[in-house]
Amino acid sequence: MATAVTPRKQRRFCMPDPFAVLTDEIIQAQISPGSRVLDLGCGDGRLLQSLRDLHQCQVQGIELDLHELTLAMNRGIPVLQGDLDRGLPLFPDNSFDFAVLSQTLQQVRQPRVIVQEMLRVAKQALVVVPNFAHWRVRWKVGLHGRAPVTSQLPYEWYDTPNLHFMSMHDFRDLAELLKAKVIKELPIIRGRAVEGAWWANLRADSALYVLQRSEVV
Amino acid sequence: MRQPDSDSFAELDAAPQPASGVHDPRSVGIVETKYLTLFEPPNPLVLANQATLGPITVAYETYGTLNHAKDNAIFVCHALTGDAHMAGRRSSDDRKAGWWDELVGPGKGLDTNRYFIICANVLGGCQGTTGPGNIDPSTGERFGLKFPFITFGDIVAVHSELVRKLGIDKLLAVIGGSVGGMQVLEWAAKFPDQLRAAICLASGPRLSAQGIAFNMVGRRAITSDPNFAQGNYYGDGKGSIINIETGPKLGLALARMVAHITYLSEESIEQKFGRNLQHREQFTYDMSTEVEFKVESYLNYQGQRFVERFDANSYLYLTRAMDYFDLNRDHGELSKALSRTNARFLVVSYTSDWLFTTAQSKQVVAALVKEQKHVTFVELESPFGHDSFLLEVEPLQEMLEPFLSQTHLSAQTR
């Protein structure tokens, strides 16, 4: 199990909970009320609860961790225990309006497969990815010659759930490879969505993408 | 976590627990089995094969209190050879509590401070509800194999009628493991508006071919016992249903032993017995030694205990009903069977269960997902095989608590 490193004297900025809440708000803003929403790696079900209670969405979560899953049950959220690395075999094509994957893509073994699966089961895929091309990360690598521990994902390289390090440019490449249409690209800078931000690949900690299969209009 | 020293479906054979001389605040206390007669003339139950049966006596127990709104009732479906006595003790010096006592009581998974719990013996059983060992009112003799063929649909129809007779329009939940889980699914398909939640543990939409094979061996063991006598082994018909002297006890014990192996796992047998010898350090090198290994002794014991409490004819009828159970076949498609209910589902499987595998539970989940139902699915880690659903009480309790209270909450705010 990967654990967050304890703070040392060096300056770092971690992703505290308020940021997660902000990200949830940014995600919710993209989802039309009354939609059917699948959250991959839904954790304690916080996002789905707001979508259900405030946006009248019909929701379904997937979560691997039993403890998190129980917390989601406490919110009355239906959750299937499942490993995203095995795809979404229980879900028929086009069974959701939105499939959400927030801050998890870098942790699955086959990011390409999971995004493909999201586009299969949902009309739109909503993906929030960390941007490892953020200038602080570059600074860390370039000047200190160190792997990027300073990102919003505070893990040492040998003890981290993060298997892939992608940038915004890189994610666009994947979307292109999957022939997915990028409906929206929202750079998130210090917890705020900044549409059309300058130098986004340098300044954004993460970014939200809304993808759609190109054959669906 | 309890050690797997209890015998599986056998529930009743749970390890003896100290008699509750001191009042146990987490126990439901002294309980009594109640009886109700349903389907009295002129309204017999029409069975799946179009035959009719009635009147039908049902043995049941209840724990906790039905609230004013009558929205806190939970029905528990027992497994193949269980009974209505799932919690508490029958008297103050009763050595053993009911078969799921660890889950039912004040503050437990099925919390009697909040919920009204009902458990009834199944139709065709031998522990109080009408079955092949009872007297056929039309002949004055025991039914034996003249008892009509029954299905899980028929079993659930009786449960459902009992619930109505108790004045409950809608159950908060129906819960069951194994064959009990099959009844839960059947209930959701047959009486979709009678339940707000369905909890299906270690079960599936139909029995696997492997399961049918094991059941067949068990039945053949019974019917080939010289004492079987075409099912007419009850003696003069005046004593109890369980007549060890005249019944096919060897065949029934053998059936139980075979079945019992399917409730365990390779790992749990290895852990509990290994290759340990029962009586001595060395092999006897003697073919007349029937029990050499500990595992043999254990199975012998399970077989013997079983014949003391179960009727062979009931075993034949219930295992056949289990073979027949097939929601896919009955409804064309599993998803169609489950499409009519708005109940929330909790489906649980266990990693080491090879009789009702996780893949079988997932078939249920996939059908529910397809129908866009409210479904939660968990695969629990456990070494205890099919028996896990009875033994892994703690993780189950942790899920039941939020699942039931959220269902109850949604019922109240609706």
A87-143 pLDDT, tens digit per residue, is 999 999 999 999 999 988 888 899 999 999 999 999 999 999 988 888 888 888 888
Q: How many C-beta neighbours within 10 Å does residue B374 have?
A: 20
Whether residue A92 and residue B375 make contact (CB cut-off 8 A), yes or no, is: no
User: Which residues in chain B are contacts of A76 at CB distance < 8 A?
Assistant: 402, 406, 409-410
What CATH number corresponds to the domain at position A194? 3.40.50.150
| Residue where the block lists tokens 């300073």 | A150
Distance CA B155, CA B130 (A): 11
Q: What are phi and psi of A189, to 5 degrees?
A: -115, 115
For residues B57 and B130, the answer to whether their CB atoms sit within 8 Å is: yes
Structure tokens belonging to residue B226: 């010289």
The pLDDT score that the predictor gives to residue B15 is 44
Distances (CA, A) of B180 to A81, B198, B340, B390: 22, 11, 20, 12
- Domain count of the fold of chain A: 1
Contact residues, A window 123-162, toward B, CB-based 8 Å cutoff? none
CA–CA separation, A100 vs B88, rounded Å? 47
pLDDT of residue B335: 97
To the nearest whole Å, the CA of B406 is away from the closest chain A CA by: 5
Query: How many Å apart are CA B372 and CA B379, to the nearest integer?
Result: 20
Mean pLDDT, range B281-292, rounded to an integer: 91
> Which residue in B366, B235, B336, B256 sits closest to B300, CA to CA?
B256
Q: What is the pLDDT of residue A137?
A: 83
Structure confidence at residue B326 (pLDDT):
97
What is B11-208+327-413's CATH topology?
A: Rossmann fold (3.40.50)
Query: In chain A, which residues have their Cβ closer than 8 Å to the Cβ of B376?
Result: 69, 73, 78-80
Beta bridge partners of B375: B345
| b/e map B116-134, b = 16+ CB within 10 Å | bbbbbbbbbbbbbbbbbbb
- Taking contacts as CB-CB distances below 8 angstroms, the residues of chain B near A36 are 372
Q: How far apart are CA B214 and CA B211, in angstroms?
A: 5
The answer to whether residues A204 and A197 touch, using CB atoms and an 8 Å cutoff, is: yes
* Contact flag B369-A81 (C-beta cutoff 8 Å): no
Q: Assign A4 a pLDDT band (cuts: 50, 70, 90).
A: very low
Three-state SS at A36: strand
Q: Encoding tokens for residue A183?
A: 């409906």
Average pLDDT over residues B143-157: 98
A54 vs A182: CA distance, rounded Å: 27
Q: Is the pLDDT of residue A46 over 90?
A: yes
**Residue B178 annotated among the catalytic residues of the structure:** yes
CA dist., res. A160 & res. B78, Å (int): 45
Tell me the average pLDDT across B123-137: 96
**pLDDT in the model for residue A10:** 40
Residues 6+ apart with CB under 8 A from A176: none
Once rounded to an integer, what is the mean pLDDT over residues B20-32?
81
Per-residue pLDDT at B249 exceeds 90: yes
Of B22-31, B285-294, B376-385, B399-408, give the lowest mean pLDDT range. Answer: B22-31
Show the 3-state SS of B272-337. Answer: HCCCCECCCCCCCCCCCCCCCEHHHHHHHHHHHHHHCCCCHHHHHHHHHHHHHCEHHHHHCCHHHH
Q: Cα torsion for B404, B407, B409, B411, to the nearest 10°?
A: -130
User: What pLDDT is recorded for position A150?
Assistant: 52
Cα separation, B5 vs B15, in Å, equals 7
Which residues is A206 bridged to in the sheet?
Answer: A130, A188
Nearest to A90 among B365, B376, B380 (CB): B365
Spell out where B123-202 has E strands. 135-136, 141-142, 173-177, 197-201
The pLDDT assigned to A19 comes to 62
- Alpha carbon distance A63, B377 (integer Å): 10
Round to whole Å and give the CA distance between B390 and B99. Answer: 9
- Note the pLDDT of residue B120: 98
- The answer to whether position A127 is within a domain reads yes
Amino acid at B158: V
pLDDT digits (tens, 9 = 90+) for A155-176: 887 888 888 888 999 999 999 9
B365 to A60: CB separation less than 8 angstroms, yes or no = no
Mark whether B111 is an active-site residue: no
CB–CB contact B372 A95 (8 Å): yes
B403 vs A contacts (CB less than 8 Å): 73
Q: How far apart are CA B403 and CA B407, in angstroms?
A: 6
Q: Which helix (H) or strand (E) holds A119?
A: helix A111-121
Structure tokens at B120: 């009834």
- Which residue from B344, B365, B409 is facing A80, i.e. has the nearest CB? B365
Structural tokens at position A7: 């703070």
Assess whether the previous peptide bond of B18 is cis (omega < 30° from 0): no
What residue numbers bound the domain in which A205 lies?
Answer: 20-213
pLDDT at site A152: 60
The residue among B339, B376, B381, B414 with the most chain A CBs within 10 A of its CB, best to mutate, is B376
Helices (H) and strands (E) in chain A, counts: 7, 8
Mean per-residue pLDDT, B334-361: 98
Asked if pLDDT for residue A17 goes beyond 60, the answer is: no
- The mean pLDDT of A192-216, rounded to a whole number, is 87
Joined tokens for residue B304 = 């013997």
How many residues does the structure list for chain B? 414
pLDDT average, residue stretch B203-228: 97
Q: Which residue of B has its CA nearest to A94?
A: B370
pLDDT in the model for residue A209 = 95
CA A136 centroid distance within chain: 20
ipTM rounded to 2 decimals: 0.90
Distance in angstroms (rounded) separating the CA atoms of residues B297 and B274: 13
The backbone torsions φ and ψ at residue B39, rounded to the nearest 5 degrees and listed phi first, read 55, 45
pLDDT at B2: 42
Assess whether B410 carries a catalytic annotation: no
Distance CA B306, CA B257 (A): 9
Q: Where are the domains of chain B?
A: 11-208+327-413
Distance from CA of B220 to the nearest CA of A (A): 38
Distance CA(A154)–CA(A205), nearest Å, equals 13
Using the beta-carbon criterion (under 8 Å), do A74 and B369 form an inter-chain contact?
Answer: no
| Minimal CA separation from B398 to chain A, in Å | 7
Using 50, 70 and 90 to split pLDDT, how confident is the model at B194? very high
**Which of B101, B386, B387, B408 is labelled catalytic?**
B386
Catalytic residue among B8, B27, B160, B178: B178
Of B323, B53, B343, which is closest to residue B175 (Cα–Cα)? Answer: B343
The beta-carbon neighbor of B399 closest among A70, A76, A90 is A70
Kindly report, residue by residue over B33-90, the tens digit of the pLDDT.
999 999 999 999 999 999 999 999 999 999 999 999 999 999 999 999 999 999 999 9
Interchain CB contact of A64 with B (< 8 Å): no
What is the C-alpha separation between B352 and B103, in angstroms, rounded? 21
